[in-house]
């Protein structure tokens, strides 16, 4: 689960001094995290089961404005690192918890990751369809969204502290984010039941006018309006066009006629032809095309740098221009996980007074 590290990265991107505490003996704890979540941070290996390391962490928290923690309920509390304990020492501390499940209810102690969240909230089932197997979703839609919510929670907590002088505990979760993404489907679209949608591994779109089609050199998504049907027919050139009464059917005769016509020319050709009619169409691209797209690099959405596997000149996330300058540290290589362990240990080593 990388929601917490993403929240910290976003705060670092906007100028916060962020220290990431990592397990000294993790399994696969670096990888893509290097460029994806650790940029702009100092990272340190600490073992909270060690009294010495726990003291160092407690010393660091004394001067912190915000604590972000990324564990299930009870995991950090057993070491005295929960909000109730820390806020007793620091009433102005802003404490943000990010976990797979809510911190209340019967699942609060469960561990989980992205895939458990999408399984628990209906996403896997929705994409699989009511009559099919659930579909596995490997992308981090809930992790990234929860990280954004976590960063927002930290900022709002600091704003409230500026008003009241008090800190607070704010929590969010992967299941909350996954549910928010599906808000429109939580309501019945018709009297007959929930709003219908394209589902299943063979789904191509909502209708003949809003769906995927295969061109001569790849796939594209057509996004035409019902008022543009005649313009679409003329631009595509469909001889003996079947009735457009089936335009609402993604698999009907009109969709089949469009599929045959669109297969004859390239994606680039259709983009030009349909743009002239003000009809939306987009080529379906692979992620590698995006990673090396000069427009994306020109906008600094993506840039070249050292990635989490320590490979130089690799595509990594960039920084969009903000309302204030991006901190220089956000552009620098974060180094391997734990790169600042010695410095952080020395900085927050508790001082023990010896009297005689």
Look up the CATH number of the domain holding residue 270: 3.30.1540.10
Length of the chain: 356
| Same domain assignment for residues 129 and 267 | no
Strand 18-22 and strand 193-194: the pairing is unpaired
Where is mean pLDDT largest: 41-50, 153-162, 241-250? 153-162
Residue 202 lies in a domain: no
Verify that 175 and 223 share a domain, yes or no. no
Q: Domain count for the chain, please give it.
A: 2
Q: Of 233, 260, 284, which residue is a domain's last? A: 284
Query: Quick check: is 299 in a domain?
Result: no
Instruction: Classify 349 in phi/psi space as left (phi over 0), alpha (psi -120 to 50) or beta.
Output: beta
Q: What is the pLDDT of residues 148-177, one digit of tens each?
A: 999 999 999 999 999 999 999 999 999 999
**Is there a single domain that holds both residue 84 and residue 157?**
yes
> Is the residue at 146 inside a domain?
yes
Average pLDDT, the chain: 86
If asked whether residues 164 and 50 sit together in one domain, one would say yes
Residues 172 and 250 in one domain: no
Q: Are residues 243 and 119 in the same domain?
A: no
Find the domain containing 13 and state its range: 3-181+322-347
In angstroms, the CA 62 to CA 245 distance is: 69
Say if 214 falls within a structural domain: yes
Pairwise pLDDT comparison (182 vs 90), residue with the higher score: 90
- In percent, the amount of the chain with pLDDT more than 90 equals 51
CB-based burial, 234-267: b 16+ in 10 Å, e otherwise: ebbebeebeebebbeebebbbbebbbebbeebeb
Q: What is the CATH number of the domain that holds 173?
A: 3.40.50.10540
Q: Are residues 102 and 235 in the same domain?
A: no
Residue at a domain's end among 231, 258, 284: 284
pLDDT band at 264 (very low <50, low <70, confident <90, very high): very high
Tokens of 224: 């035409």
Q: In this predicted structure, what is the pLDDT of residue 35?
A: 67
Whether the per-residue pLDDT at 222 is higher than 90: the answer is: yes
Q: Are residues 145 and 57 in the same domain?
A: yes
- Answer whether residue 124 shows pLDDT above 90: no
Beta bridge partners of 21: 44
8, 88: one domain? yes
Residue 248 within any structural domain of the chain: yes
Most confident of 130-134, 236-240, 331-335: 236-240
pLDDT at 24: 83
Identify whether residues 28 and 107 lie together within a single domain. Answer: yes
- In a domain? residue 186: no
Q: Are residues 123 and 255 in the same domain?
A: no
Residues 41, 151, single domain; the answer is yes
Domain boundary residue, one of 284, 304, 331 = 284
pLDDT value, residue 351: 59
């Amino acid at each position: 689960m990388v929601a917490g590290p993403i929240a910290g990265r976003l705060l670092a991107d906007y100028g916060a001094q962020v220290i990431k505490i990592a397990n000294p003996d993790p399994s696969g704890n670096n990888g893509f995290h290097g460029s994806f979540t650790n940029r702009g941070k100092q990272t340190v290996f600490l073992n909270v089961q060690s009294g010495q390391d726990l003291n160092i962490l407690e010393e660091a928290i004394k001067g912190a404005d915000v604590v972000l923690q990324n564990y299930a309920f009870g995991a950090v509390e057993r070491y005295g690192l929960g909000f109730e304990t820390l806020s007793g020492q620091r009433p102005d501390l802003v404490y943000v918890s990010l976990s797979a499940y809510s911190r209340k209810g019967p699942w609060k102690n469960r561990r989980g990751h992205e895939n458990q969240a999408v399984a628990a909230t209906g996403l896997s089932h929705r994409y699989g369809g009511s009559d099919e197997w659930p579909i596995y979703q490997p992308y981090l839609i809930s992790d990234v969204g929860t990280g954004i919510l976590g960063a927002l929670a930290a900022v709002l907590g600091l704003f409230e502290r500026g008003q009241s002088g008090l800190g607070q505990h704010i929590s969010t979760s992967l299941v909350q984010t996954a549910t928010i993404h599906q808000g429109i489907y939580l309501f019945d679209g018709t009297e007959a039941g929930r709003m219908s949608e394209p589902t299943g591994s063979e789904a191509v779109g909502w209708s003949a006018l809003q769906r995927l089609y295969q061109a001569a050199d790849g796939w594209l998504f057509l996004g035409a309006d019902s008022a543009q049907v005649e313009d679409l027919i003329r631009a595509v050139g469909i001889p003996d066009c079947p009735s457009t009464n089936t335009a609402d059917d993604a698999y009907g005769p009109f969709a089949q006629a469009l599929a045959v016509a669109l297969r004859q020319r390239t994606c680039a050709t259709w983009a030009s032809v349909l743009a002239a009619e003000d009809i939306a169409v987009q080529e379906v691209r692979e992620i590698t095309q995006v990673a090396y797209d000069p427009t994306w690099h020109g906008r600094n959405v993506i840039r070249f740098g050292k990635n989490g596997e320590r490979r130089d000149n690799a595509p990594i996330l960039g920084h969009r221009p903000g309302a204030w300058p991006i901190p220089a540290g956000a552009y620098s290589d974060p180094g391997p996980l734990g790169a600042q362990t010695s410095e952080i240990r020395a900085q927050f080593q508790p001082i023990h007074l010896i009297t005689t």
